[in-house]
């Protein structure tokens, strides 16, 4: 075969690079969204919090069938009209997309995200904080008593999930109700329904098999003179500049090869 003197790169989302590589004999592993926001079943609830950005929260992704933690992280996230996004959510998606039988688990509502809104406080300290807030708002209605503890946009959803009557006076809230409120704040759960569409992904997981590429030169092991760089290769990483580094490094290596 006549030598191909070019480096195939993924220039856009058309998928032409994958098509060309496959026609030339390369294997393409399944393409999936590598870093992407997550959709939730509780659409009405998340819509109430749309645009709310949370800092210094911790999350856990849970497989309910095994009571297993798939991923956990600490940092920033945001609610959207469809679900959740932000740095720790985007990174979480990378682990979730690779999880065994993930499509079926999502369909069966078996993947949850647990958000700890106050990770710096354990349950006991959080309960003390809630009691202090209640004592300073003793004659207020429950719906007006949480503004010092929580962002405004999440108060109504918390009230709904707490099952405490929002018109109830703070001094009428029972110890059990207060304790359950603390547990809810430490374990605010949503059910993940899906990933956002592939075209919205920050990077694509999958691509040309690395087994068919010389890692020292990025040259194809199948077609002499054919090089690959960047996202078209089946390599991806968490958010934080790692994927840019992959693109820069593979591009540099392929460009430096004396045969190009």
pLDDT digit string, tens, across residues 12-52: 456 688 888 999 999 998 888 889 999 999 999 999 999 99
Helix locations, the chain, DSSP H = 16-23, 43-48, 87-96, 102-107, 123-136, 152-162, 175-186, 242-256
What average pLDDT does the segment 211-222 reach? 93
Same domain for 193 and 100:
yes
Same domain for 24 and 39:
no
Predicted TM-score (pTM) above 0.95: no
Domain that holds residue 232: 6-31+206-253
Pair 218, 6: CB distance under 8 Å: no
The count of domains in the chain is: 3
In whole angstroms, what is the distance from residue 66 CA to residue 56 CA? Answer: 28
Closest to 115 in 3D by CA, of 179, 29, 49: 49
Among 156, 186, 216, the domain boundary falls at: 186
Asked if pLDDT for residue 99 goes beyond 80, the answer is: yes
Asked if pLDDT for residue 70 goes beyond 70, the answer is: yes
Same domain for 109 and 44:
yes
Same domain for 247 and 146:
no
In whole angstroms, what is the distance from residue 250 CA to residue 253 CA? Answer: 5
């Amino acid at each position: 075969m006549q030598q191909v003197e070019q480096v195939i790169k993924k220039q856009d989302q058309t998928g032409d690079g994958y098509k060309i590589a496959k026609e030339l004999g390369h294997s393409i592993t399944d393409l999936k969204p590598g870093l992407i926001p997550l959709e939730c079943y509780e659409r009405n609830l998340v819509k109430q919090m749309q645009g709310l950005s949370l800092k210094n929260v911790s999350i856990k992704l849970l497989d309910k069938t095994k009571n297993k933690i798939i991923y956990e992280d600490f940092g920033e996230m945001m609610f959207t009209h469809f679900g959740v996004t932000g740095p720790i959510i985007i990174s979480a998606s990378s682990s979730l997309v690779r999880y065994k039988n993930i499509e079926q688990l999502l369909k069966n509502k078996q993947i949850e995200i647990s958000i700890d809104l106050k990770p710096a406080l354990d349950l006991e300290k959080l309960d003390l904080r809630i009691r202090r807030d209640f004592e300073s708002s003793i004659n207020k209605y429950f719906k007006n008593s949480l503004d010092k503890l929580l962002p405004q946009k999440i108060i109504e959803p918390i009230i709904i999930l707490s099952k405490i009557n929002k018109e109830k006076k703070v001094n009428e809230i029972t110890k059990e109700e207060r304790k359950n409120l603390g547990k809810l704040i430490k374990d605010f759960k949503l059910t993940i329904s899906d990933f956002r569409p592939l075209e919205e992904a920050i990077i694509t997981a999958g691509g040309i098999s690395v087994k068919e590429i010389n890692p020292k030169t990025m040259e194809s092991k199948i077609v002499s003179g054919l090089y690959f760089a960047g996202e078209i290769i089946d390599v991806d990483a968490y958010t934080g500049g790692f994927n840019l580094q992959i693109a820069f490094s593979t591009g540099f290596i392929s460009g430096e090869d004396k045969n190009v």
